[in-house]
Structure 1
């Protein structure tokens, strides 16, 4: 409310909140169509992704102006809906929740969990998101792995319907030319070449930097 009172009536107002409802925060703002979430991640000078969260009343012009501004800082944006946790924290805390349970149950130490995350699937994440990784692995493989996980965790690892529907339709990822991201089959060699080059470069960077000074 104080920011709204101090700002020009046409000034765009954004919140860096990571969890608070954007719609709720917009209520004391005069001209709420100019208000939205602009969620940077710490440390913001170095993290290139920014979550853009309009509420139902945010104008398309406001979203476009904020995206242009963020892009001018050489960052990438993703526009998501105003739901609890948005997207970034729902993903981040889902991973942390599972990691914490593994440590609580004595299955692995915190150090070992961190090692596995950063040296296995986390190693891929600077280049590919979870859907690209699933497409390359094969959605039929993912579907089978879900069934295996359900032997001990039937509710926690229920197969997502969106995955089942794609598998039943024969859309198994890059090997069939259609999946979550629909990469044409003829582009698979180009994708694999990029993947291999990226992973080699990442390994070289890790070797140059050395281990993080954590322990």
Structure 2
């Protein structure tokens, strides 16, 4: 690995540039404008944003650079989690899209094609739909936060490493899937703004593990145990 003193020297001979700046649209737009000016005109320009539409990041680029812009959303920790979402915009060239996918596959990752540039792509849309319903159950007094985690980890979460939601729907049958949806969907949350519970917790400083309190209470030892347990689990998964 080489460390350069300036962005210009770092990208001057690059074939692929992956941006991983904070999730601030203006910052990413400025960064890509600078990269497009300094990198070779064939270089693929990739953003590691988790949720910002790639089209918005590249909206000020000139057409030739916009055609080379693609999303590559890696999941943390990237050395243990194999997925990378490869996101195309309406302007991304087919060659850039497929070349990026091929590079990631050759590097041993598990790339997936995101054919339309939607906010949050695939994984975060699925993950945060679950979080929205989970937080709402706590806010509505249905259960506490610990119960949410116990239910997920000891029921459908156990199946997910080997049975994705589409496989599961086919396994139980689409007739049953539709019948369940007819009963449940009218009662599921579809809020367009973050939960008020999150706002109340944040206002009193209960921001999560780092503060010792979030949706659940945490001692430093408990927080460390979660980090260690997660790392050990991911390492086991990569060895299987």
Q: What TM-score results when the alignment is normalised by the length of structure 1?
A: 0.68
8 Å Cα contact 1:29/1:35 also seen in 2: no
Distance in 1 (CA, whole Å) between partners of 2:75 and 2:178 is 32
Is the partner of 1:213 in helix, strand or coil? helix
CA distance in 2, matches of 1:72, 1:89: 24
Deviation (angstroms), 1:122: 1.3
Q: Name the CA shift for 1:119/1:154 in 2 (closer, same or farther; >3 Å).
A: closer
Name 1:92's counterpart in structure 2.
127
Q: Is the 8 A contact 2:69 2:92 kept in 1?
A: yes
Change (3 A) 1:38 1:123: same
Number of residue pairs the alignment of both structures matches: 159
- Counterpart residue number, 1:205: none
**Residues 21 and 84 of structure 1 are in contact (CA less than 8 Å); yes or no, is this contact kept in structure 2?**
yes
Aligned to 2:225: 213
Structure 2 residue 42 is matched with structure 1 residue 10: yes
Unaligned runs of 5+ in 1: 157-211
Q: 2:52 corresponds to which residue? A: 20
TM-score by length of 2: 0.61
Residue 67 of structure 2 aligns to a residue whose secondary structure is helix
CA distance in 2, matches of 1:21, 1:115: 33
RMSD of Structure 2 on Structure 1 (CA)? 2.1
The structural deviation recorded for 1:155 is 8.3
SS at match of 2:161: coil
Contact in 2 for aligned 1:53/1:82 (Cα 8 Å): yes
Instruction: Note if contact 2:136-2:189 (Cα within 8 Å) is conserved in structure 1.
Output: no
